[in-house]
Amino acid sequence: MNSENQSCVSAIIASRGDADASRARLAQASARADELEPQLKAFRFRPNHYDLDGAAGKPLAGLPIALKDLISTADMPTAYGSRIYAEFTPAEDAEIVTRIREYGGIVFGKTVTTEFAWREPGPTVNPWHSEHTPGGSSSGSAAAVGAGIVPLALGTQTVGSVIRPAAFCGVIGYKPTYGRVSCAGVHPCAPSLDHIGFFANTVDDVALAHALFVESKPEAIASQEAWSRYFEPRRPHKLGVVRTSMWNLPDSEQKANFEASLERLSAAGMTLVELDLHVDLPVLLDALQTILQVEALKGIGPLIDKHPDKVSERMKALTAAGAAVPAARYQEALALQAELRAASAVFLGGCDAVAMVPATGEAPLGLDDTGDATFCAPWSLLGMPAVTIPSGRSAKGLPLGFQLAGDRGADLSMLQIAAWVKAALPAFR
């Protein structure tokens, strides 16, 4: 089911005024979805008709974009992965959806999410092996891109819900700096941690999303020359390598792939620096879990009280844990988060970016477990930008990934480094 690794940036620039090219892109996406969806199950909803009026000449020029069903759309059902909202259509679009439409993008459909972006999975399968999870909570978005249905999809990340499923599905996953993309109109899981993120098959294409939705610079794709000035691969002077005190968690294949990737980068002229996290990973995880539990209780607890028969046991357990957290402990976790976000540069140790595994190994077998988010969590707590790129495959042929994180606000620089790293690593597909 997996797709070829092709960038859409040049195609968008070349066909911006060509309505026929936009219709052809949508027809191709629809045909592939019709072919794969009976097994893939990436989408909760796809419309029967797409309105291309006015898309020609705009920055996205009719580009089909899939949206995680946590993101409100006024013209499509939005269930937030919950049985409570099974028949719900919001009154207005989320802010990010408004911007997609203003740029001429087409909302191709709503993708499957876990319940309220927590751990209760939907039916989506991994595009590389249908017996394995695609990850979560942005399950359908990662799978839709990995299967080649759409060139760009949106997800959200509270702990690891962009980076991990991207690694499992063999695509690029990009989580911007916290707060740089508005979450207005996105159902909250834990507002102090929630991010919108992007999936694509190339670094150029998540950089396109960055240009439009993070920096609001449509002029960057006004021409191929403008794009070349805006975005090009950049080799870092120094790359920090972070394994953490929890290095026992990744399996042997993930570790071997990580080390092989580092060796290849070193051979290509990159200076590698071994780093420890400024604060031990278990401390960061404890603070994140405390914030997540309490804020999930605040936002989702009232829904559980009203509809206890329509909420999973996993969500009930999360909010019950939040009810047991003392108020002082929650405030301490928020204070630590604020302190560390203000000093995020120290986590880089003087390097241009840091490298870490995005997951503990290949996508787990079965659809009941969306995987371990331990190695995504630090960057969600700290609000630092992160990106994962495909870096190899397991013995089963499932994707493995290589994660980079950068300083807060240095998203573009991190993506440029990711483009250089991607080119230095072996071709994935």
Q: Which residues have C-beta within 8 Å of that of residue 30, sequence separation ≥ 6? A: 46
| Active-site pick, 3, 72, 82, 137 | 137
Kindly report the backbone phi and psi dihedral angles of residue 272, in degrees, each rounded to the nearest multiple of 5, phi listed first: -105, 140
Q: Provide the H-helix boundaries in 233-312.
A: 252-267, 281-306
DSSP 46-84: --S----TTTTTSTTTT-EEEEETTB--TTS---TT-GG
Kindly report the backbone phi and psi dihedral angles of residue 37, in degrees, each rounded to the nearest multiple of 5, phi listed first: -60, -35
Tell me the CB-side half-sphere exposure of residue 33, using CA atoms within 13 A: 28
| Active-site pick, 68, 110, 175, 422 | 68
DSSP run (H or E) holding 336: helix 327-342
- Say if CB 233 and CB 423 are below 8 A apart: yes
161 is annotated as an active-site residue:
yes
Give the residue from 50, 42, 331, 70 showing the smallest Cα distance to 184: 70
In the block, which residue shows the tokens 């839709």? 144
| Active-site pick, 3, 22, 138, 161 | 161
CA separation for the pair 30, 11 (Å, rounded): 18
137 is annotated as an active-site residue:
yes
Environment class of residue 159 by beta-carbon count within 10 Å: exposed (0-12), middle (13-18) or buried (19+)?
buried
- Say if CB 360 and CB 397 are below 8 A apart: no
Enumerate the active-site residues: 68, 137, 161
